[in-house]
């Protein structure tokens, strides 16, 4: 049997209906716009009439006569004064327009539907972690009430949680790092990856406060920072973690930013620094930044284990004693540095015993910067010579009193190659780039209270001075000015900080022959 075609209204009917509906909606919108004043006035008149009716109903019967009389008198006066009816009409319309305004939309007080949805799914996700089977009145239970556990919360413009206060049961093992880490990982996933969170655990009150952190600034390059002698800016951090700010220039703009300042010298409790990180995370740039700041008031000796010439810009500059890349040069320089530390120590002690002020020749701080000692250690082992690190023992142990500071940078996977004195005496610590929680724990002695970022820019990491708090850290960009990949602005910024060229560094070292020092005497003096 041949099929009969559908009537046109049925075959393309839905499109026609949709078009007609659109036209009707547009016409209705236009009419509403045009008639809006009329609608407002008539709504106002209705409200005025309603108010009048109410007033009349509320007026006691014995007072209705006088009221009616008064109204009639007013109407009479209005009718007889010039332009009275017109003025009365205008007044009535104005009053009706005022009364007929749209009421203010009620202010949103609680979270909206999507926010409630987010909070209840977060609550459900926390149930397995914050509940036990035999709890008679569980704070967390499937289908339970999230309002009891999330005391305060804020949402950002995109509807994501910005800050939240979470109550948890007292039996949750918040003293154990692993339990806390599990909750932090879960919250990181549920509240949205790609942002950094700060977790503040109040173990006494059974409260966890989660805050979203702003990214640290990456636009600050090396520059003469406003610091006192003995202070080194490692980088920049959050305003909440430090008391002080530093004025910096970032591009065209000047602003105040909170720095991580490391103090060295006699009164420092963290006189030496260890930098650890992944390859390419910015360790060399941080060492370069430290060297440029150290050169403002002191002398610098650089030992470069990787031998890539990353410090070539410093060779022959005033205050740079040597930049050594080879094993033989490293051993000679470090031996000299060990003797120099002893000489300074003996000289300082002699002056102290004689009641003289500190002699001038030991006042200028000496910095020993050692990049990738493990590479040199391997070479030394293959060559049957001593590990250059062993020569750091005297500067590490007595450096504080002698004005000698040691900075060691090593890759995370070669940290095992560091000898014990290096680990013991480098109490200022920096970790750059991606690092596993165990690696952070190993270097910093604790894990940061913040989650890592999804994308870690070069020079980003954490710093901890002694037993202080862990700070998020962004190192100021201090690239090699001789590298073709360095931008012109950064090249100029670093070049402006380089001291002028002087006699070759080696000559400067020869010009300061170490005082003949007996190691035992130095040790004895240091212990006194
Ligand atoms: N703080 C920073 N800001 C901007 N760029 C940086 C920063 N630190 C490092 N970089 C860039 O990252 C790259 C690697 O830096 P750097 O050589 O300092 O890292 P590294 O950890 O020493 O790496 P490697 O072990 O390969 O020498 C360079 O291109 C450098 O310019």
SS3 for 223-279, per residue? CCCCCCCCEEEEEECCCCCCCCCEEEEECCEEEEECEEEEECCCCCCCCCEEEEECC
pLDDT at residue 505 tops 70: no
The residue whose two tokens read 């017109």 is 86
pLDDT at residue 465 tops 80: yes
Q: How many Å apart are CA 520 and CA 346, to the nearest integer?
A: 11
pLDDT at residue 4 tops 60: no
Ligand 1 atom with least separation from CA of 372: 25
Average pLDDT over residues 499-528: 52
Structure confidence at residue 508 (pLDDT) = 47
99 found inside a domain: no
Local confidence band at 11 (pLDDT 50, 70, 90 cut-offs): very low
CA of 261 to the centre of ligand 1 (A): 20
Q: State whether 188 and 250 are in the same domain.
A: no
Q: How many Å apart are CA 365 and CA 296, to the nearest integer?
A: 10
Q: State whether 163 and 202 are in the same domain.
A: yes
Local confidence band at 195 (pLDDT 50, 70, 90 cut-offs): confident
Question: Directed axis angle between helix 177-191 and helix 113-126, to 10°?
Answer: 150
Q: State whether 165 and 245 are in the same domain.
A: no
Other C-beta atoms lying within 10 Å of the C-beta of residue 503: 11
Q: Which of 221, 250, 280, 375 to mutate to test the pocket of ligand 1 (most atoms within 8 A of CB)?
A: 280
79-128 pLDDT, tens digit per residue, is 888 888 888 888 888 888 888 877 666 566 678 888 898 999 999 999 99
53-83 pLDDT, tens digit per residue, is 888 888 887 888 888 888 888 888 888 888 8
Strand partners, 59: none
Strand partners, 299: 366
Query: In this structure, what token pair is assigned to residue 284?
Result: 């060399």
Residue where one domain finishes, among candidates 213, 240, 258? 213
230-272 pLDDT, tens digit per residue, is 999 999 999 888 889 999 999 889 999 999 999 998 889 999 9
Q: State whether 205 and 274 are in the same domain.
A: no
317-357 pLDDT, tens digit per residue, is 999 999 999 999 999 999 999 999 999 999 999 998 999 88
Rounded to whole angstroms, what are the CA distances from 387 to 330, 498, 526? 10, 31, 24
Backbone angles phi, psi at 435, to 5 degrees: -150, 140
Cβ atoms of 349 and 331 closer than 8 Å: no
SS3 for 33-95, per residue? HHHHHHHHHHHHHHHHHHHHHHHHHHCCHHHHHHHHHHHHHHHHHHHHCCCHHHHHHHHHHHH
pLDDT at residue 412 tops 90: yes
Bridge-based pairing state of the strands 207-213 and 196-202: antiparallel
Helix/strand number for the chain, H first, E second: 15, 16
Structure confidence at residue 19 (pLDDT) = 67
102 found inside a domain: no
144 found inside a domain: yes
Q: How many Å apart are CA 450 and CA 199, to the nearest integer?
A: 6
Average pLDDT over residues 12-23: 61
Structure confidence at residue 506 (pLDDT) = 46
Q: How many Å apart are CA 477 and CA 223, to the nearest integer?
A: 10
Does the annotation place 358 within a ligand binding site? no
Q: How many Å apart are CA 212 and CA 162, to the nearest integer?
A: 5
Q: State whether 135 and 269 are in the same domain.
A: no
Question: Directed axis angle between helix 393-402 and helix 327-353, to 10°?
Answer: 40
Structure confidence at residue 1 (pLDDT) = 43
Residue where one domain finishes, among candidates 181, 213, 245? 213
- Which has more pLDDT, 490 or 72? 490
Mean of all residue pLDDT scores within the chain: 87
Query: The domain spanning residue 182 has which CATH number?
Result: 3.30.70
Distance of CA 80 to the CA centre of its chain: 77
Q: How many Å apart are CA 289 and CA 268, to the nearest integer?
A: 20
Distance of CA 23 to the CA centre of its chain: 53
Q: State whether 392 and 430 are in the same domain.
A: yes
Best CA proximity match to 458, nearest among 493, 485, 484: 485
Does the annotation place 284 within a ligand binding site? yes
CA of 177 to the centre of ligand 1 (A): 32
Average pLDDT over residues 476-488: 95
Q: State whether 207 and 237 are in the same domain.
A: no
Q: What is the pTM of this model?
A: 0.74
Q: State whether 430 and 370 are in the same domain.
A: yes
Q: State whether 207 and 248 are in the same domain.
A: no
Whose Cα sits closest to atom 31 in ligand 1?
Answer: 479
418-456 pLDDT, tens digit per residue, is 999 999 999 999 999 999 888 999 999 998 988 877 678
357-403 pLDDT, tens digit per residue, is 888 888 899 999 999 999 999 999 998 999 999 999 999 999 999 99
Which residues sit with their C-beta closer than 6 Å to ligand 1? 277, 279-285, 458-459, 475, 477, 479, 485
Average pLDDT over residues 37-42: 83
CA of 434 to the centre of ligand 1 (A): 13
Q: How many Å apart are CA 85 and CA 91, to the nearest integer?
A: 10
CA of 343 to the centre of ligand 1 (A): 36
Best CA proximity match to 323, nearest among 296, 355, 357, 288: 288
Does the annotation place 504 within a ligand binding site? no
Does the annotation place 277 within a ligand binding site? yes
Q: State whether 331 and 183 are in the same domain.
A: no
- Residue 253 lies in domain: 231-527
362 found inside a domain: yes
Does the annotation place 393 within a ligand binding site? no
Whose Cα sits closest to atom 30 in ligand 1?
Answer: 479
Whose Cα sits closest to atom 26 in ligand 1?
Answer: 280
Highest mean pLDDT among 4-13, 23-32, 183-192, 272-281: 272-281
Bridge-based pairing state of the strands 207-213 and 161-167: antiparallel
pLDDT at residue 512 tops 60: no
416 found inside a domain: yes
The residue whose two tokens read 């949805």 is 117
41 found inside a domain: no
Query: In this structure, what token pair is assigned to residue 343?
Result: 């000489």
Cβ atoms of 351 and 357 closer than 8 Å: yes
Largest CA-CA distance found in the chain, in angstroms, rounded: 126
310-321 pLDDT, tens digit per residue, is 999 999 999 999
Structure confidence at residue 523 (pLDDT) = 47
Best CA proximity match to 393, nearest among 329, 337, 320: 337
Local confidence band at 15 (pLDDT 50, 70, 90 cut-offs): low
Instruction: Tell me what ipTM this predicted complex has.
Output: 0.96
Residue where one domain finishes, among candidates 165, 185, 213? 213
Q: How many Å apart are CA 177 and CA 185, to the nearest integer?
A: 12
CA of 174 to the centre of ligand 1 (A): 37
327 found inside a domain: yes
The total of structural domains in the chain comes to: 2
Q: Which of 430, 479, 488 to mutate to test the pocket of ligand 1 (most atoms within 8 A of CB)?
A: 479
Q: Long-range pairs for 102-111 at CB < 8 Å and ≥24 separation?
A: 102/40, 111/153, 111/155
Does the annotation place 279 within a ligand binding site? yes
- The total number of residues shown for the chain amounts to 528
Query: In this structure, what token pair is assigned to residue 409?
Result: 């940078």
Q: State whether 192 and 235 are in the same domain.
A: no
CA of 482 to the centre of ligand 1 (A): 14
246 found inside a domain: yes
Q: State whether 125 and 199 are in the same domain.
A: yes
CA of 282 to the centre of ligand 1 (A): 3
Whose Cα sits closest to atom 6 in ligand 1?
Answer: 458
SS3 for 445-502, per residue? CCCCCECCCCCCCCCEEEEEECCCCEEEEECCECCCCCCCCCCHHHHHHHHHHCCCEC
Query: The domain spanning residue 388 has which CATH number?
Result: 3.40.50.300
């Amino acid at each position: 049997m041949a099929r009969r075609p559908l009537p046109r209204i049925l075959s393309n009917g839905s499109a026609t209906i949709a078009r007609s509906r659109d036209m009707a909606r547009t016409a209705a919108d236009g009419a509403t716009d045009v008639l809006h004043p009329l609608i407002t006035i008539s709504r106002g008149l209705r409200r005025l009439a309603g108010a009048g009716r109410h007033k009349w109903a509320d007026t006691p019967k014995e007072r209705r006569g006088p009221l009616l009389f008064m109204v009639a008198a007013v109407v009479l006066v209005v009718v007889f004064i010039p332009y009275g009816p017109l003025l009365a009409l205008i007044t009535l319309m104005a009053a009706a327009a005022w009364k007929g305004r749209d009421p203010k939309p009620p202010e949103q007080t609680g979270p909206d539907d999507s926010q409630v949805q987010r909070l209840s799914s977060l609550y459900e996700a926390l149930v397995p972690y914050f509940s036990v089977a035999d709890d008679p009145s569980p704070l967390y239970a499937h289908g339970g009430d999230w309002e009891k556990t999330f005391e305060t919360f804020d949402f950002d413009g995109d509807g994501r949680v910005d800050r939240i206060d979470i109550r948890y049961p007292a039996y949750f093992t918040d003293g154990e790092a692993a339990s806390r880490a599990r909750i932090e990982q879960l919250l990181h996933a549920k509240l949205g990856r790609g942002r950094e969170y700060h977790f503040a655990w109040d173990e006494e009150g059974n409260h966890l406060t989660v805050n979203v952190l702003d990214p640290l600034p990456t636009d600050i390059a090396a520059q003469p920072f406003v610091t006192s002698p003995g202070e080194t800016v490692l980088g920049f951090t959050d305003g909440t973690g430090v008391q002080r700010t530093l004025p910096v220039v970032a591009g065209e703009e000047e602003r105040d930013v909170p720095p991580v300042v490391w103090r060295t010298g006699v009164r420092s409790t963290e006189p030496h620094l260890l930098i650890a990180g992944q390859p390419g995370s910015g360790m060399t740039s941080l060492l370069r930044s430290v060297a440029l700041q150290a050169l403002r008031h002191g002398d610098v000796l650089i030992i470069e284990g990787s031998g890539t010439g990353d410090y070539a810009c410093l060779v022959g500059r005033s205050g740079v004693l040597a930049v050594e890349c080879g094993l033989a040069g490293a051993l000679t320089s470090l031996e000299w540095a060990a003797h120099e530390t002893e000489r300074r120590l003996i000289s300082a002690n002699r002056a102290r015993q004689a009641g003289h002020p500190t002699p001038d020749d030991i006042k200028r701080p000496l910095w020993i910067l050692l990049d990738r000692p493990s590479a040199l250690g391997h070479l030394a082992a293959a060559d049957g010579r001593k590990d250059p690190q062993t020569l750091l023992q005297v500067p590490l142990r007595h450096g504080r009193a002698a004005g000698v500071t040691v900075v060691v940078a090593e890759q995370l996977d070669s940290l095992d190659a560091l000898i014990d004195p290096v680990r013991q005496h480098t109490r200022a610590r920096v970790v750059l780039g991606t690092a596993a929680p165990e690696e952070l724990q190993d270097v910093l002695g604790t894990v940061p209270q913040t989650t890592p970022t999804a994308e870690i820019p070069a020079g980003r990491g954490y710093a901890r001075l002694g037993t202080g708090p862990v700070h998020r850290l962004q190192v100021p960009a201090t690239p090699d000015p001789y590298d073709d990949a360095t931008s012109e602005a950064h090249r100029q910024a670093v070049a402006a900080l380089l001291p002028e060229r002087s006699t070759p560094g080696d000559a400067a070292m020869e010009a300061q022959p170490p005082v003949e020092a007996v190691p035992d005497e130095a040790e004895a003096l240091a212990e006194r």
